[in-house]
Amino acid sequence: MIIDAEQPGASDPMARPIAAIARPLGIQTNNFAEWTAVVLALERARALGASEVELVLDSKLVVEQLMGRWRVKEPTLATLHAQARTLLAGFRGWNARHEGRANNKQADAMANLALDDPVAARLAEAGERPPPTSGSAAGDPIAAPDPSGRADASGLVRLPSAGPEAWICVTCGVQYPLSDVPPVECPICQDERQYVGWGGQQWTTMARLAAAGHRNELAEEEAGLWNLGTRPRVAIGQRALIVRTPAGNVMWDCIPFVDGDSVAQLRRMGGLAAIAISHPHFYGSMTTWSAAFGDCPVYIHAADGEWVQFRGPGLRLWEGDALEILSGITLINTRGHFPGATVLHWAAGADGRGTLLTGDSITVVQDRRWVSFMYSYPNLVPLSDAEVRHIADAVRPFRYDRMYSAWEGRVTATDGPDAVERSVERYLVHR
């Protein structure tokens, strides 16, 4: 539970929280759960703009270890301890103190809710139901919609809200900053390259997606490359790709749904050193993903900076034709679909022959021996000849064999450069 220390009655153990976190962790030790809670709470406090924090914990062990008076010996806990200390270094001031469980009833109730009713816990965490008090049962029903069934301006029947939410556009899946009510419109969908859904502008939240049964799945594509996708699909339905390198892991493109299971899996794989995104349609919940990994850098070309809706501390707007963000990982500005449209070159991919991750700046089509290029895919607006030639020129200096596009299965397994050159020629002939 995160409480604003400046609010009246903040010292009361039952003071109203401004945020709550509840995540089932599976079969883990109490110490692992306690340290995970510290890391998640510090990440959330930073995202909320806190400059100073006081950790009030019912684990004397964790308090003593945080304060440096006791050692952390177990390797997994040592990793979490290091993450917590790194996060604490970003605050102007901090303290940790022990408080008995009898005076920490809200947090205890929230932990029980996560164990007994994960869906209700997600809704409480996202502010779509009040956090439980010590006297509420974990099985209490989720707050029901207005029985009239009337939808609000977002096109959704509203659940009672305990605070601001990070709204997600139903059509494009891009997340917006915390607010008490959803935005009036999504500028990304208002643009001629995208569209507003036929039912009008609609919004959802992370908790609604979780309550609807969405989940993320990680699957290996090839050595060093993993596919992260959401089932059932959300919005545009793109995947993210995780590139594993000795210098750190990179998430290429982003998805709207963030769940504890996939964050935990990625942490076990070494976490994320960076996120890089091809163009605005795939911004997804990039700031939430970044926050889950210590506000890791999110690389977006500066030419597309105007489309960033939810700016977080990890945002890095880069300029120029190419940028190596980690050893062997280079972003290439192709232009075309957007002025800042980008592909990622992974030098070690395809067993050392090189790989391009293309989003849909260069899209692998149904006949996977070919690719194509568009100004707008949903509205079928072609690119100019000059822009298509520029895309080919931008990637030509880079050595690669394989290409991965934005959707699962859209892979040109070999002869990638030839596929691009042949596809450019075919495109220009039929323009």
299 and 172, same domain (yes or no): no
Statement: residue 128 has pLDDT above 60: no
Q: Identify the weakest region by mean pLDDT among 158-162, 310-314, 332-336.
A: 158-162
246 and 277, same domain (yes or no): yes
User: 48 falls in which pLDDT band (50, 70, 90)?
Assistant: confident
In a domain, 250, yes or no: yes
For residue range 353-366, list pLDDT tens digits in order: 999 999 999 999 99
Statement: residue 75 has pLDDT above 90: no
In a domain, 10, yes or no: no
pLDDT of 27 reads: 60
Question: Which helix (DSSP H) or strand (DSSP E) does residue 79 occupy?
Answer: helix 75-88
In a domain, 11, yes or no: no
Mean pLDDT of 21-38: 79
In a domain, 406, yes or no: yes
Domain tally, the chain: 3
121 and 229, same domain (yes or no): no
pLDDT of 17 reads: 82
Out of 154, 176, 211, a domain closes at: 211
229 and 108, same domain (yes or no): no
In a domain, 220, yes or no: yes
In a domain, 188, yes or no: yes
Statement: residue 281 has pLDDT above 90: yes
397 and 288, same domain (yes or no): yes
Statement: residue 379 has pLDDT above 50: yes
Mean pLDDT of 287-314: 96
198 and 313, same domain (yes or no): no
199 and 239, same domain (yes or no): no
Domain residues for 77? 30-125
The rounded percent of the chain whose pLDDT value lies above 70 is: 87
Out of 125, 149, 181, a domain closes at: 125
296 and 338, same domain (yes or no): yes
Which position has the higher pLDDT, 138 or 342?
342
232 and 354, same domain (yes or no): yes
219 and 207, same domain (yes or no): no
Separation between Cα atoms, residue 58 and residue 55, nearest integer Å = 10
Between the alpha carbon of residue 197 and those of residues 172, 186, 187, 300, 378, the distances in Å are 9, 11, 13, 26, 11
Statement: residue 163 has pLDDT above 80: no
Mean pLDDT of 380-391: 97
Mean pLDDT of the chain: 87
CATH classification of the domain holding 366 = 3.60.15.10
In a domain, 419, yes or no: yes
Which position has the higher pLDDT, 117 or 397?
397
Out of 95, 125, 155, a domain closes at: 125
CATH classification of the domain holding 50 = 3.30.420.10
CA angle 313, 318, 324 (to 5 degrees): 105
List the end-to-end C-alpha distance of the chain, in Å, as a whole number: 58
Separation between Cα atoms, residue 392 and residue 402, nearest integer Å = 15
In a domain, 18, yes or no: no
Statement: residue 146 has pLDDT above 50: no
For residue range 340-352, list pLDDT tens digits in order: 999 999 999 999 9
Are 200 and 264 in contact by the 8 Å Cβ rule? The answer is no
185 and 83, same domain (yes or no): no
179 and 259, same domain (yes or no): no
Instruction: Give me the phi and psi of 342, to 5 degrees please.
Output: -135, 150
Q: Identify the weakest region by mean pLDDT among 24-38, 47-61, 227-241.
A: 24-38
